[in-house]
Every structure is written in structure tokens, then in C-alpha cells.
Amino acid sequence: MDVKNDFLPDFPGDIYKDDNGKTNFIVTSVDALANWGRSNSLWPLSFGTSCCAIELMSTVSAKYDWSRFGFEVMRASPRQCDLIVVAGTITYKMAPVLKRLYNQMPEPRYVIAMGACAISGGPFFYNSYSVVKGVDHVIPVDVYIPGCPPRPEALIHGMMTLQKKILLSKAYVIEKPKEE
Amino acid sequence: MENQNNNLPLEELTEEFVVNIGPQHPSTHGVLRLQTTLDGETIKDVVPVLGYIHRGIEKMTESLGYKQFIYLTSRMDYLSAHINNQACSLVIEKGLQIEVPARAKAIRIILAELQRLTSHELWWGSTAMDLGAVTPFFLAFRDRERILEIFEGNTGNRLTMNYITPGGVMFDVLPSFAKSIKDLFKIIKEYLKEYDTLITGNIIFQHRLKGVGVLPKELAISLGCTGPVARASGISCDVRKYYPYDGYEKLDFKEITSDGCDSWARYMVRMEEMKQSIHIVEQLIENLPEGEFRTKAKGVIKLPVGEYYQRVETARGELGVYIVSDGGSKPYRCKFRAASFSNLGALQPITVGMKIGDLMASMATLDLVIPDIDR
């Protein structure tokens, strides 16, 4: 029985087809549940290098209060986190440390580049010899938030964008290497 | 297993080991790395490793115009952004020999003192958090946001304002400026009492700070400490008193010093400084001078050939800006004397011999901003 063709012609389940070309609908339900859980309990790493870290702290604190959206628990150890908010400038000396922190995080892991420095080097793009021109040279980035520094509202918007991205992801699909 | 050193007394059998605290650590307030040599729980040595946030600001100023490089200094000590801008504006005004209007001077002092207030409030919250109390952190940010609302309304930005420019300030303040600050102070004064009842009178908090991190007067002088760290060791070093700028000489305020020399003295000095900042602003806000908010400076500023130096009192101590001009439109050399760098030197002498739990308590009361150290 092919679920898609017989019962749900609009069901976007092509990606879940198994080796026989049949769609497994149980996996898609688990997927939705896992994505719901993941998107609403993101645990960020308490990592800030410069000015943006203060706005990050403002977002955590009383007035803006990002725990309303499920980002409540900030952890100091990367092994307990699934989100890293790169708040501030990354220099060439800091880049290996950041890479190592990212590798220590358990999968699935997400990265938000907060502020102009993390996106492109920001005000230190020209004439600076020690600044990495964008954190995406070091680790893959999911969401970029512009600003120098971004307002707390902008950060919350970026985090909610990440939640939407997680909801659309296919957590239990293992992409097979394409046969040549 | 046979111990090779069986004939030694028991306390000499322990082995020293090195713990790297940082660069990613929640209590170092940034990306400072401390190579800490420990014997059990006792600290034998602390070596700070710098450079994780070195962005080359001093070198970048050599390729930017005099009006442009001021924006970079907001990112240096971001908790004293207004005061950094003020220091750079003052040194350029000194070179150009232009006079700033009285209204601009008053606005500058008001914003600088409010900035000091925000900085000390954030320090208060983060110090309490380093010692294990989470609630003060939220209270501090609640009060800080009130001041940031005034900054945002008048200058357009919350953290890196870039509002003070050579010749005055960038725009005039809102008509509601004076009223909003008066309303703010009614609330803030109640908050300061709340701080005292919550933390200052707390016996556990006092035990963690009293007699810990002792920085003697002679050592503080030889290390070049400034700001509240030096004033808590009994050194009178307030730049606002000794080298007044922008009209601080006309204002009535006390320089807070203490002879306690320990972390508790540094805590009390900052708490009193917050009250003094409110007192300074209250004198100015009653009759804010009318008139121009800016003296027209040229589009491209060229300083005469020479060397210029200006010092101001930021929230963490003395900030010196030294500019060498070759007559061009860009500085030939620019050096910042940052307060946090000198105060960091005090970390090793005040923590050696104490337990590791006191390391963070001592470091919190030094109030370091790491991008200010590395620049």
C-alpha cells in the first residue's frame, strides 16, 4: 500500500520513501514530534565575546525574557547545549576555540551569527589584521541577525526564525550518498 | 602502589596541577583565559592569557579620519561607550582648540554619569551571579533597561551610542529629556535601597567578600590601578577631581575612597559611586543650559602637528587617549590607556594563596571588560 498515492495525494512525503519506493508515515509523525520538542527547548551555550554579549544578556533578563519562547536554560558546557549564539567578534586566535566548542556539542546543533562582526567582521572588516571576516568561515551558520549590536527584539526574531527552520527539518532522514 | 616520597611529611605529597579557566567560561565576562596553578584548592599562581579578542583598534585608527575612529571606541569598553566617545572628542577639541557650548557639556556629563550608573548596575548583578545568586542579575537588568530607554530615545541606540562628537553632541536631546530623568531617579533611588536590603546586608555575601582579595595601597600604586579598584585601596585618583573636564569642576560631588583594600571595600565604593552619579546629574538637570548643542567642526578635521593627551574617568578607571598627529586628516598614532588592563595586573597578587572559590569573587570586584583589555 502506498500511503501517498492511495490516501494522501498532497502529502509531501517523497523524501521519506524507503528502498522499495513506499512511504513510511510513522517516521514522519516521529519527525514532527521531535522537531516540536527540539524547537521549543533550545539550550544555548553561554558564549559571548564582546558587545553583543551584553545585548544577549539583556534578552535573557527581565524586560525581554526569552524563556517565553523556550530558550531558558543557558549552559556553560558545550556538551549540554544544542545552540550556540556567536555574540561578538571572532579573532584568529579565538577561531580554533570556537571550532572546538562547536565540535563538542551534541547533534543536532544550531548556530546563530549575532551582529555585524559575526556575519562579516562588521566595523573591523577593513584594515584589521586579526578579525575573522565572518564566523561562517569557521562553523556553519543557520540564522544571521544584522545589527551592531542587534536589538533584543531582533535576537528574539532570529531565534524564532530558527525555530521555524527546525520545524521544517527532516530529523530522521539519513541522506544516502549518491551513487555515481 | 609504593609511594616514592614516603619519608616526606604529608602536606608535601600533593601535586600541583594547572587548570585553564577560559577562554569560554561564564565567570570571566568574556574571552579571558586564566592559567591557574593549583595545589589542591589553594591557588599557587594565576597567569592571564590575553589576545582572544584583540581586534586591532589602535592600528585601525591610523587609517580612519578623526571623526570616524570615535565609532570604534564605543566597541572598546562597551559599558562606558559614552565616556569613551567623550575622551576621543575631548582630545580632538584640545587639538583644534574649539570651545564646546555649555548645553553640550551638560548633556555630555549627564549621559556619562548615567552610563556609569548602567555600568555599575550591571557589575552589581554579575558580581552577585558570580557568587551564586541569580536574582540580582535580573533585578540589575530591570533597572538598567530604564536608563537604556532614555539613551535609546535621545541617542538612537542602546549600547554603542556614538552620540558625542567633536564639537558637542550629534543631535539635541528630546524636550522630555529632563522630565524622563527625574522620573527615572524617583524609581532608581528606591531600587538602590532594594539592592542594599537584598545583597549588601546579606551575611553570606559579606563573608564571601570581607578580607578576600586584599590589594595593599603600595601595590595598587605600583601596578597602576585606577578607578574604584584603586580608590578602595585608599588612593585618591579621581580624574574628575584632579583633571576636570567638561565642567566637572563646577559640580559638587564627593570622591569615594575606602581603606578596606579588600573585595568588600571595592563593592562599597561602587555602591556609593552610584549615589554620587545620581547627585551629579540632579545638579545639572534642574537648569539645563539653553543654546547650541554643537560647535561646527570642519567636515574633514586636520589636527596641527603635535601630540595630544586627554584622560577621563570611565566606570572602571582612567582612560587616556594619546594621539600623535602629523598634520594629516588621520592620526599618525593613537594609543589608548585602558583601565581594565592595569586593573587586571592586580588579579595575580590578590588571589595567590587563596582558595579557588575566591578567584571569581576577587575577579568580579575588579570589574574587567575583556575587549577593553585586548582592544
Among the listed residues B265, B242, B264, the one whose alpha carbon sits nearest the alpha carbon of residue B255 = B242
Whether residue A93 and residue B137 make contact (CB cut-off 8 A), yes or no, is no
Q: Among partner residues A47, A63, A123, which is closest to B145 by beta-carbon distance?
A: A63
Please check whether residue B115 is in contact with residue B135, taking contact to mean a CB–CB distance below 8 angstroms: no
**Distance (Å, whole) CA A118 – CA B253:** 42
- In the predicted model, is pLDDT for residue A1 greater than 70? no
Residue of B nearest to A49 (CA): B30
pLDDT of the residue at B1: 44
**Nearest Cβ partner of A47 from B24, B78, B160?**
B24
User: Could you tell me the three cell numbers for B282?
Assistant: 540632579
Can you tell me the distance from the alpha carbon of B27 to that of B36, in angstroms, rounded to the nearest whole number?
14
Q: How far apart are CA A138 and CA A131, in angstroms?
A: 12
Per-residue pLDDT tens over the stretch B151-167: 888 888 888 888 888 88
Q: How many domains does chain B have?
A: 1
ipTM score assigned to the predicted complex: 0.82
| Confidence class for position B41, pLDDT limits 50, 70, 90 | confident
CA distances from B154 to B142, B147, B178, B366 (A): 19, 11, 11, 31
Classify residue B3: in a domain, yes or no: no
Say what percent of chain B tops pLDDT 90. Answer: 5
Interface of B with A in 2-31 (CB under 8 A): 23-26, 30-31
CA distance A34 to chain B (A): 30
In chain B, which residues have their Cβ closer than 8 Å to the Cβ of A63?
Answer: 141-142, 145
Look up residue B223 and give its three cell numbers: 601596578
Please give the single-letter amino acid code of residue A137: H
Measure the CA–CA gap between B46 and B279, rounded to whole angstroms: 39
Q: How far apart are CA B246 and CA B239, in angstroms?
A: 12
Domain membership of residue B2 (yes or no) is no
d(C-alpha B279, C-alpha B248), whole Å = 13
Going by C-alpha positions, the residue among B188, B130, B167 that lies closest to residue B362 is B130
pLDDT of B144 > 80? The answer is: yes
Across the interface, whether the CB atoms of A127 and B63 are under 8 A apart is answered yes
CB contact under 8 A, B60 and A89: no
Nearest to B53 among A61, A63, A89 (CB): A89
**pLDDT (mean) for B13-27:** 79
* Among candidate residues B370, B343, B188, the one with its CA nearest the CA of residue B266: B343
Q: One-letter amino acid identity for B338?
A: A
Give the distance from residue B73's alpha carbon to the nearest chain A alpha carbon, in angstroms.
Answer: 11
Of A52, A67, A61, which Cα lies nearest the Cα of B125? A61
The phi, psi pair for B37, rounded to 5°, reads -90, 125
- Residue with the bigger pLDDT between B10 and B91: it is B91
**B194 at A interface, C-beta within 8 A:** no
3-class SS of residue A80:
helix
What is the rounded (10 degree) CA torsion for B220, B223, B224, B226?
A: -40
Residue B326 covered by a domain: yes
Of the pLDDT bands very low, low, confident and very high (cuts 50, 70, 90), residue B322 is very high
CA distance B236 to A178: 73
Chain A contact for B161, CB < 8 A?
Answer: no
- For B264-287, write each residue's pLDDT tens digit: 998 989 988 888 889 888 888 888
The predicted structure's pLDDT at residue A144 = 92
Q: Domain for residue B328, yes or no?
A: yes
Cell of B330: 588621520
**Chain B residue closest to A100 (CA)?**
B24
Please list every residue in chain B whose beta carbon sits closer than 8 Å to the beta carbon of residue A91: 51-55
Assess whether pLDDT exceeds 70 at residue B27: no
Domain that holds residue B278: 10-372
The alpha-carbon gap from A62 to the nearest alpha carbon of chain B, in Å, equals: 5
Identify the residue among A46, A50, A92 best suited for mutation to test binding to B, counting B beta carbons within 10 A and taking the highest: A50
Contacts of B137 in chain A (CB under 8 A): 61
What sign for the dihedral angle of Cα B225, B230, B233, B237?
Answer: positive
SS3 B69: helix
Q: How many residues does chain B have?
A: 375
- What b/e string do you get for B314-352 counting C-beta neighbours within 10 Å, with b at 16 or more? bbbbbbbbbbbbeeeebbeebebbbbbbbbbbbbebbbe
* Low-confidence winner among A28-37, B133-142, B153-162, B313-322 (lowest mean pLDDT): A28-37
Mean pLDDT, chain B, rounded, equals 86
Q: Does residue B281 form part of some domain? A: yes
Give pTM, 2 decimals: 0.85
- Whether B4 maps to a domain, the answer reads no
CB contact under 8 A, B160 and A126: no
Rg (CA), chain A: 19
In a domain, B105, yes or no: yes
The CATH number for B326's domain is: 1.10.645.10
Please say if the pLDDT value at position B297 is more than 80. Answer: no
d(CA B25, CA B46): 16
CA separation (Å) from B345 to A149, B18, B318?
30, 20, 15
Distance (Å) from the alpha carbon of B245 to chain A's nearest alpha carbon: 27
The minimal CB distance from A128 to the residues B55, B139, B370 is found for B55
- Whole-number average pLDDT of chain A: 81
Confidence of residue A61 (pLDDT cuts 50, 70, 90): confident
Assess if residue B332 is contained within a domain. yes
